[in-house]
Amino acid sequence: MHHNMDGITSNTKYLGDASKTNWVVSGDAVIYNDNVLLTMAVDTAGTVMATSTYMWYGNVKAKFKTSRGQGVVTAFILFSDVKDEIDYEFVGSKLDVAQSNYYFQGITNYDEEQDIQLSDTWANYHEYEIQWTPDQITWLVDGQVGRTKKRIDTWNATSNQWMFPQTPARVQLSIWPGGLATNGEGTIEWAGGVIDWNSEDIKNNKYYYASFESVDIECYNATSSLGTNTGVSYTYSSLVGTNNTVVDGDKPTILKSLLGTGTNMSAAYPSAASSGAAAASATAAQIPGLTGTGGGGVDTHSSGDDSSSGSSSGTSSASGSSSTGGSSGFSQGTGSSGSGSGSKSAADKVGANQERVLKGSVFAGIVAVVGMMAL
């Protein structure tokens, strides 16, 4: 399935009908020369864009040029509702390196990041690929294998489980401020230093940007067991949140309003007639993904204790948005933010007291219990 870089809908307007859009965005995405520029203006949290559909194993390729500059991070990841994650990350001060990593349910692992060497990622388009099966992840750059990780090598005897990404995930593309001055010291150091908001790119364009040309997704298309996509949606049968608890079924995915959840999909704004007041407009607290749900990709480079499990995914009768209690997180985007930190308009201007950097889920829990598949 070729995902053209068009069909983009704001996360403040998306209600779960994946047939209406290819992408859901938080922040500012600019169309330029048939590419999509994900932008990060001064003191914003950048931009994150995610597919409206999920893939449960398969191959995904993205062709793009990264951003540049110390503290500026570009990312191409797979991210599931229980925080399983497969990453490419690019630090703007190291333009000859693609960082590969993976996480199981958001649990930090400081030893699994590996570098893949390549030519200037800002000046050159490269094709980055993730091949994902129930047994192995392969990272490829321009068709050449850069890294392989086998599930059999991820067994954790203490927790008695495979620490391997295994649940339906969205493709997410983003630019985010690893070098924000209010971030943790470890995050800033990893990102190459504090961001220069007076750089050449800021002076010339008013923002940092990464340029995405194309994304191609090939689903695993299993006919039975793991990796099927024969239904309408994916749900979870257990809080365990492993691949054997994924249900490929026919639960609906479309909410009546942004007040809806997976357990109350018909929730609607009060009408002026029934309430005696003007109908409510969407606020930050009513926009899934802009509230304190955490979001896509927990940064593991902070000097604080960022370890958390995303296994609170939810069952077939509970919310599928996993929460990390993200009181120290920030939301990406340019709309109002309902960050758990209580900071003012964090998506417009990132405030202080936000130690943990989140790469940002565009619509964490927008459908709550269900997610449309990539068919």
Per-domain residue ranges for the chain?
2-219
pLDDT tens-digit readout, 168-226: 999 999 999 999 999 999 999 999 999 999 999 999 999 999 999 999 999 999 999 99
Q: Higher pLDDT residue, 232 or 285?
A: 232
Fold exhibited by the domain 2-219: Jelly Rolls (2.60.120)
pLDDT tens-digit readout, 47-90: 999 999 999 999 999 999 999 999 999 999 999 999 999 999 99
Helix or strand or coil: residue 41? strand
pTM over 0.85: no
Tokens of 27: 């922040």
Active site annotation includes 218: no
- Closest by CA to 73, choosing from 93, 90, 60, is 90
**Which candidate in 85, 127, 200, 355 is catalytic?**
85
Active site annotation includes 89: yes
pLDDT tens-digit readout, 291-305: 322 233 445 565 443
Kindly tell me the number of DSSP H helices and DSSP E strands found in the chain: 3, 21
Which DSSP state fits 202? H
